[in-house]
Amino acid sequence: MVIIRSFFITGTDTDVGKTVVTSLLTRFLIDMGVNAFPYKPVQSGATTNGARMIPSDAQMYQLVRPEFDVTDFNTYLLEKPCSPHLAADLANITLDRTVITKQVHQLEEAHDAVLIEGAGGLYVPLTNDGYCYIDFMEELNVPTILVSALRVGTINHTVLSIEAMKARNLPIAGIIFNQLQIGNPVIEQSNVETIRKLTDTPILGFVPYSPDIHTVLADDKLRRHLYKDWDKRRFKELIHSD
């Protein structure tokens, strides 16, 4: 029996691969028998198709949960590709935190696990009153998965993010490293080991570089190859913990 559990997926920065990891994690958990659902409360940078707004990140979600409509994965869709608080202001929309929290709880009732993806990093403002994603994470109090890019600067960005979460006593599930491009394996491994030592945080897995991630996500065999070495034991502990 699966105990319902949500995870918050945040990143050390924007464009580190949170949506890719959230999508992969959805199928990874489904393969473990967990009915997982990806959810991004606020999607900025949505494109328009006639009268309909299309969320780009949710299109990736739909590759792993094709039975849902692309508009099922967000509460707010905003056109401008910027921080949610600014995109909402430019659209004359008020982002209501209580509406988002209610949506999370409704999704938890319908699924075993809800994978809540943030925008950018921890201190990206969600609303224009200074309420940031880290405040929302503190309110939800669910295990957080930090996505970190395997690139120059990742040690500083990752350690700062972990320290910020520890300062708020947030539950940290672990780190998933995303390879954005082919790099030097010696440097990459050194970065990972340094981060492990400095943060004492579990490494949940790695996402190897893929030049066509959309094709990979849509293919069961190719997709499973990306998460075949993830830490299943650690995830089982997280899913079944009270």
User: Is 179 annotated as ligand-binding?
Assistant: yes
User: Is 120 annotated as ligand-binding?
Assistant: yes
User: Is 38 annotated as ligand-binding?
Assistant: no
User: Is 171 annotated as ligand-binding?
Assistant: no
User: Is 20 annotated as ligand-binding?
Assistant: yes
Q: Assign 3-class secondary structure to the chain.
A: CCCCCCEEEEECCCCCCHHHHHHHHHHHHHHCCCCEEEECCEECCCEEECCEEECHHHHHHHHHCCCCCHHHHCCEECCCCCCHHHHHHHCCCCCCHHHHHHHHHHHHHHCCEEEEECCCCCCCECCCCCCEHHHHHHHHCCCEEEEEECCCCHHHHHHHHHHHHHHCCCCEEEEEEECCCCCCHHHHHHHHHHHHHHHCCCEEEEECCCCCHHHHHCCHHHHHHHHCCCCHHHHHHHHHCC
User: Is 91 annotated as ligand-binding?
Assistant: no
User: Is 117 annotated as ligand-binding?
Assistant: yes
User: Is 21 annotated as ligand-binding?
Assistant: no
User: Is 15 annotated as ligand-binding?
Assistant: yes
Active-site residue identified among 40, 80, 166, 221: 40
User: Is 219 annotated as ligand-binding?
Assistant: no
Active site includes 40?
yes
Binding residues: 15-20, 44, 117-120, 178-179, 208-210
Catalytic center residues = 40
Binding residues for Mg(2+): 19, 117
Binding residues for substrate: 44
Binding residues for ATP: 15-20, 117-120, 178-179, 208-210
